[in-house]
Amino acid sequence: MKRYFIHTFGCQMNVNDTNRMSEVLAGLQYQPTPVAEDADLIILNTCSIREKAEDKIYSALGRYRQVKTQRGALIGVGGCVAQQEKDKILKKVPYVDFVFGPDNISKLPEILDKVLIGRARVVETAWVDSEEYVFPRADPESSRGRVTEFVTVMKGCDNVCAFCVVPHTRGREVSRAFPEVLLEVAALARVGVREVTLIGQNVNSYRGGLGFDQLLLRVAEVPGVERVRFTTSHPHDLSDALIEAFRVQPKIASHFQLPVQSGSDAVLKRMRRDYTVQEYLERLAKLRAARPDIAITTDIIVGFPGETEEDFERTMQLTEAVRYDNQYSFVYSSRPKTSSALREQEWGEIPHEVKVERLDRLQKLQKKIAAEINALHRGHPVEVLVEGRSKTDPAKRFGRNPQNKVVNFDGDAPIGAVVEVQIDRTSVGALYGVQGRTLLAPTIEISEAPLAPELCAVA
Ligand code: 5AD
Ligand code: SF4
């Protein structure tokens, strides 16, 4: 039997795609190996969101070259860099055998035939028509033993943010029909999953036969489901209906990842984000009124072309005003084919040292705020869905509270239970405490032992 190794970069969409690749390869009698050096087939599932992400892929390819020399392993490049660079990858890296985009995962058998039998180097990056796109159905058995799982509800993105490569790498929005989503969630619940995260590049513009708010409400009603999450959203789709869903359905977990990108209206306009800071704050105030304990997290880009010190100060002020539970902040990176890449000269590039210094200031402020927010939990109980042994200390258990914060605790609650944990210590990134009363028993027994070794690396 031949063995494969997949190195996954980037977001949850890519992790999901890796699972789909694994399913296709299993059908071809390939077996996974956790060690790249033992593989007959190495696939890099790539991310191109920022330049650094892309650099990582070329350095990983350099490392895998040896496996090719030593045992003749095939090397394939999939994911977002593949979609963006196409045959350029074959030209740049002579030992890559094939390149395939996210819409072409089901073509892996034909691609491998062409490479192995036809001795050809192959590029497959055509889009599948929206009407013809079929969302692959995940095998629920592969989720047995997990209490949290991701469910794809849409793919692609129709927004026009000036900095973003995603519309070029993931194509137009396509939503998955809601009955299919509900069937998948029900199948997951039957194997013990209690928390589902609905994923897509732009989930709240979902159009699969129901509004996104209605989809969330229907998923929350699936027997066995205790928590529903979703990611990622655009502020212009944070509708009153979605806010209402938070008000009426407590199973929609108290966390909203709402990327703002900048605290300056001038920068937002150049980014083509179609909202002002004031509008964003008004939406947020409404959401917080509907769900007062909601955790808000965001994405920020620092050093977008033309960002003045004053613009950046506005981002600092917004950070203080919102008091985010967490921020994912990045320095602006020029991406091929994006509209901002074409206008950097005109708007004015920000020197690298200035970007890095601003990022550092912002991250220091955010860390202080996150530590302060987490400290408010000290001396109080939080509700935790138990996921397993703590990653930092195997003697402890770990899970998350509704706000999506990691909680490490002393106790013996079974995986899949919902328990109260009395918090006695907090840090910027986690809460620590002692198990209290059990709120819900697990739906099925889940083994403590890891089910399988990590089969692919995620960067
Ligand atoms: N440069 C820096 N950060 C970017 N992001 C997207 N494109 C870029 C870019 N060109 C960030 C945004 C987005 C997150 C996923 O990545 O903040 O929300
Ligand atoms: Fe990276 Fe975006 Fe592609 Fe995800 S969709 S892998 S974040 S470029």
CATH code of residue 24: 3.40.50.12160
- The predicted-structure confidence for 35-77, as pLDDT tens digits, reads as follows 999 999 999 999 999 999 999 999 999 999 999 999 999 999 9
Has residue 32 got a pLDDT over 80?
A: yes
Residue 84 shares a structural domain with residue 229: no
- The predicted-structure confidence for 347-370, as pLDDT tens digits, reads as follows 999 999 999 999 999 999 999 999
Mean pLDDT value of segment 378-398: 94
Q: How far apart are alpha carbons 275 and 269 in whole angstroms? A: 8
Nearest C-alpha to atom 7 of ligand 1 is from which residue? 164
Give the range of the structural domain holding residue 40, as residue numbers without chain letter. 2-125
* CB 42, CB 76: distance < 8 Å: yes
Q: Supply the pLDDT for residue 180.
A: 97
Question: 341: number of CA atoms within 13 Å, CB side?
Answer: 11
Virtual torsion, Cα 229, 231, 234, 235, nearest 10 deg: 30
CA of 261, closest atom in ligand 1: 17
CA 419 to chain centre: 26
Has residue 457 got a pLDDT over 60?
A: no
Q: 248 is written with which tokens? A: 């009426």
* CB 325, CB 373: distance < 8 Å: yes
The answer to the question of residue 132 being in a domain is no
Q: How far apart are alpha carbons 432 and 409 in whole angstroms? A: 6
Has residue 456 got a pLDDT over 70?
A: no
Mean pLDDT value of segment 303-327: 98
The answer to the question of residue 447 being in a domain is no
- Structurally, the chain folds into a number of domains equal to 3
Q: Which residues contact 168 (CB under 8 A, 6 or more apart)?
A: 83, 84, 336, 337, 338
Distance in Å, CA 10 to ligand 2 centroid: 6
Contact 170 CB / ligand 2 (< 6 Å): yes
Partners of 151 in beta bridges: 198
- Conformation bin of residue 86: beta by default, left when phi > 0, alpha when psi is -120 to 50: left
Has residue 450 got a pLDDT over 80?
A: no
The answer to the question of residue 295 being in a domain is yes
Q: Supply the pLDDT for residue 393.
A: 86
Mean pLDDT value of segment 6-29: 94
Q: How far apart are alpha carbons 221 and 215 in whole angstroms? A: 10
pLDDT band with cut points at 50, 70 and 90 for residue 454: very low
Report in angstroms the alpha-carbon separations of 42 from 18, 318, 445: 12, 44, 35
The answer to the question of residue 453 being in a domain is no
- The predicted-structure confidence for 404-429, as pLDDT tens digits, reads as follows 999 999 999 999 999 999 999 999 99
Has residue 163 got a pLDDT over 50?
A: yes
Residue 293 shares a structural domain with residue 409: no
Nearest C-alpha to atom 6 of ligand 2 is from which residue? 47
What's the chain's average pLDDT?
A: 94
Residue 163 shares a structural domain with residue 179: yes
Ligand closest in space to the Cα of 232? 1
Distance in Å, CA 165 to ligand 1 centroid: 9
pLDDT band with cut points at 50, 70 and 90 for residue 189: very high
Distance in Å, CA 414 to ligand 2 centroid: 35
The answer to the question of residue 135 being in a domain is no
Q: Supply the pLDDT for residue 142.
A: 85
- The predicted-structure confidence for 193-234, as pLDDT tens digits, reads as follows 999 999 999 998 999 999 999 999 999 999 999 999 999 999
Q: What is the pTM of this model?
A: 0.94
Q: How far apart are alpha carbons 128 and 47 in whole angstroms? A: 20
Helices (H) and strands (E) in the chain, counts: 14, 20
